[in-house]
């Protein structure tokens, strides 16, 4: 008598674990594909920044973070149709860099994990989310750590060169992206792919 319900429970269990393993396989395929498209950008931006500071000096390197980095993201955006941006909890340009709720939560979590000793260059997160209108998205974020070169423009206020401080002050009167320490999380690269 008991056998039948037990059997169907076992079958249901097997079925759900099959669905689960399919979902995990789909997630990891999306993750791999997303990483492959966007991660090569990170060393490219850092390299371009180092070269620009060396060749032109800090003030003339501003356009690398202001125009070149967003343009590189824009190229991948055009190729893939995904929404790709840079966000931060302490923005220099609030218009382009303000995170949405999901992103703000992940950035706060990155900060907690970095403060607890995690390597900031290894912090990433992904999730499939369903929004109010039943649209599904694969969301991905990768932390952008504060490296030596970033401190030139995002480091301690008192260490910023005077001409740079003046230029940044003019362009970004509401600049909050200073006083970072090496090894902190400056922000993140964020990707939102429609499914
Ligand atoms: C030469 C100065 C300079 C250097 C060096 C620099 N940045 Fe920036 N950064 C800027 C400027 C200017 C902006 C604002 C860009 C804009 O208007 O969109 C910015 C914006 C950003 C943003 C977008 C979010 C925001 O705050 O508006 C991120 C993320 C960022 N920088 C990360 C970095 C990282 C990581 C490094 C080191 C690899 C770095 N930056 C080095 C000048 C610099």
Angle at 144 between CA 140 and CA 147, to 5 degrees: 165
User: How many whole angstroms from 65 Cα to the centroid of ligand 1?
Assistant: 5
Question: pTM to 2 decimals?
Answer: 0.89
pLDDT of residue 12: 62
User: How many whole angstroms from 53 Cα to the centroid of ligand 1?
Assistant: 13
Atom of ligand 1 nearest to the CA of 96: 18
pLDDT of residue 25: 75
pLDDT of residue 15: 62
Whole-angstrom distance, CA of residue 137 vs CA of residue 128: 6
User: How many whole angstroms from 62 Cα to the centroid of ligand 1?
Assistant: 8
pLDDT of residue 64: 87
Burial classification of residue 116, based on how many CB atoms lie within 10 Å of its CB (0-12 exposed, 13-18 middle, 19 or more buried): exposed
For residue 86 and ligand 1, the question of a CB distance below 6 A is answered with yes
pLDDT of residue 56: 87
One digit per residue, pLDDT tens: the chain, 195 residues? 555 666 666 566 566 666 667 777 778 999 999 999 999 999 998 999 999 999 989 998 999 889 999 999 999 999 999 999 999 999 999 999 999 999 999 999 999 999 999 999 999 999 999 998 999 999 999 999 999 999 999 999 999 999 999 999 999 999 999 999 999 999 999 999 999
Atom of ligand 1 nearest to the CA of 93: 27
The b-or-e profile of 81-112 (16+ CB within 10 A means b, else e) is ebebbbbbbbbbbeeebebeebbeebbeebbe
């Amino acid at each position: 008598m008991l056998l039948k319900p037990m059997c169907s429970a076992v079958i249901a269990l097997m079925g759900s674990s099959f669905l689960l393993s399919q979902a995990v396989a789909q997630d990891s395929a999306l993750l791999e594909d997303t990483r492959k498209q966007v991660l090569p950008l990170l060393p490219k931006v850092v390299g371009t920044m180092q070269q620009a500071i060396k060749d032109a000096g800090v003030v003339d390197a501003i356009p690398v973070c202001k125009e070149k980095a967003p343009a590189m993201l824009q190229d991948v955006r055009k190729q893939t149709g995904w929404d790709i941006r840079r966000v931060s909890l302490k923005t220099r340009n609030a218009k382009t860099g303000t995170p949405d709720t999901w992103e703000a939560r992940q950035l706060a979590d990155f900060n907690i994990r970095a403060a607890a000793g995690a390597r900031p260059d290894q912090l990433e997160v992904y999730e499939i989310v369903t929004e109010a209108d039943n649209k599904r998205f694969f969301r991905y974020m990768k932390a952008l750590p504060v490296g030596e070169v970033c401190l030139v423009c995002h480091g301690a206020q008192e260490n910023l060169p005077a001409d740079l401080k003046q230029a940044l002050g003019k362009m970004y009167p509401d600049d909050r992206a200073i006083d970072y320490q090496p090894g902190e999380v400056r922000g993140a690269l964020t990707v939102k792919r429609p499914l």
